[in-house]
Structure 1
Amino acid sequence: MDPHTIATLAELEALYARPAAPSLAKEVDYLHPHYRAFVEAAPLCLLSTVGKDVAECSPRGDAPGFVQVLDERTLLMPDRRGNNRIDSLRNIVADPRVGLLFLIPGINETLRINGTARISVAPDLLARCEVEGKTPVSVLVIHVQAVFFQCARALLRSRVWDAGSRRPRNSLPSNGEILAALSRNAIDGEAYDRELPERLRTTLY
């Protein structure tokens, strides 16, 4: 083993200082009204899941409040239209543990929630998530186990909300270019890029 690899909990705890009191005081096992305000203001949430053989993270987004608070220990997250890979859902079937990271444009603090999730197709829950006359195929019912805010350092260092940090999309390979290269041109990359804006517009919900 690499002698520089930290392989035990004892080694890890010896490497880092003990957490300060606020780092521990901020964690609770329910949605305090202050934390609920973050959930209801967030248009973007990163969903982490753990499958049988893999851990993954996937973005979820919609208008602020798209993740609904059913009560102080329960959240409702719609599974909007996507690519039908259903990677996160497959993982939840195998292992219900989830992590959520809520982001709000212009706010450097984020909100972290750990818990468990189940996939539901209950008609009343689907109806709660209707947008433009369309309901999601399924929803996640998330049981909250831990909630705390993450301090601003990561977003301050990354300057993610600064206008000067934005890059034009054409500074990186397009989706079509990536698909054409990886499929050895079995997928027409130019056609994919050309049709993408309309496809996104008509299949958003």
Structure 2
Amino acid sequence: MGTAGTTEVTGVVEVASEAELRELIGEPSSHAANKTRHRLHDLDRRWLARSPFCVMATADAQGRCDVSPKGDPAGFTHVLDDTTLVIPDRPGNKRLDGMVNILGNPQVGLNYFLPGRGDTLRINGRARLLRDAPFFDELTVKGNRPRLALLVAVEEVFYHCSKAFLRSELWNPETWQPDALPSRARIVKGVEAQDRALEELEQHYGPGYAEKLYG
């Protein structure tokens, strides 16, 4: 066996240093290497005003990672100034994995999507948890004033190109197969809540589910 939680795989050749990694892959172009900025540009503000979705990466004090989706109407990320963002928290499953991580390690990575676009806006920074602030009223959606929000001090900003989206054909409707796997209710029944009736879960995750998003 390998380290805890892993299985030993024979015949692998591991990369063990950055020098070895660079020898294998090479150096980035000057454009790629130097595109990082430390403040929001007007184009970044416009992107954030249109983006309804991002993924947030965090890690705890021991380096264990988590990635969490964040979504709301377009423009849900509130821009205070060129170096400060606010992301409201909404009702969820109350695990708070990313929030707990931030308490021990404030570094966050954010990747903002625009539906149909392959490029993404990446923002890295340091986050704090707020339980109230004068701008919380501006974060209200469908009557839901957040009880918690992230205040993010921007450290790095850059755009990522479309290659991953083009390779995956993520936005191509002809590749979409939402029924290729069991429904959300059946997945929950299979791996999360075996003791609950499938009919109950199907009702919970059925057509009325969207009406509960801000309750």
Residue in structure 1 matched with residue 177 of structure 2 by the alignment: 167
Residue in structure 2 matched with residue 79 of structure 1 by the alignment: 89
Is the CA contact 1:44–1:102 (under 8 Å) kept in the aligned structure 2? yes
Unaligned stretches of 5+ residues in structure 2 = 3-10
Among 188, 201, 204, the residue aligned to 2:210: 201
Task: Note the aligned Cα RMSD (angstroms).
Answer: 1.8
Deviations 1:43-84 (A, max 9, x none): 110011111342010110111110111100000100111111
Residue in structure 2 matched with residue 181 of structure 1 by the alignment: 190
Residue in structure 2 matched with residue 25 of structure 1 by the alignment: 34
CA distance in 2, matches of 1:42, 1:69: 13
Among 16, 19, 26, the residue aligned to 1:10: 19
Unaligned stretches of 5+ residues in structure 1 = none
Residue in structure 1 matched with residue 60 of structure 2 by the alignment: 51
Identity of aligned residues (%): 33
CA distance in 2, matches of 1:192, 1:40: 35
Residue in structure 1 matched with residue 200 of structure 2 by the alignment: 191
Single out whichever of 177-186 and 96-105 deviates more from structure 2.
177-186
CA distance in 2, matches of 1:192, 1:72: 44
SS of the counterpart of 2:205? helix
Alignment of 1:51-200 (within 5 A): 51-53=60-62, 54-168=64-178, 170-182=179-191, 185-197=194-206, 200=209
Give how far 1:178 is off: 2.1
Detail structure 1 runs of 4+ shifted over 6 Å in the superposition. none
Give how far 1:199 is off: 5.6
Give how far 1:18 is off: 1.1
SS of the counterpart of 1:85? coil
Is the CA contact 1:66–1:78 (under 8 Å) kept in the aligned structure 2? yes
- Aligned residue pairs total 204
Is the CA contact 1:175–1:189 (under 8 Å) kept in the aligned structure 2? no
SS of the counterpart of 1:171? coil
Single out whichever of 192-201 and 50-59 deviates more from structure 2.
192-201
Give how far 1:31 is off: 0.6
Give how far 1:183 is off: 5.0
CA distance in 2, matches of 1:160, 1:77: 25
SS of the counterpart of 1:144? strand
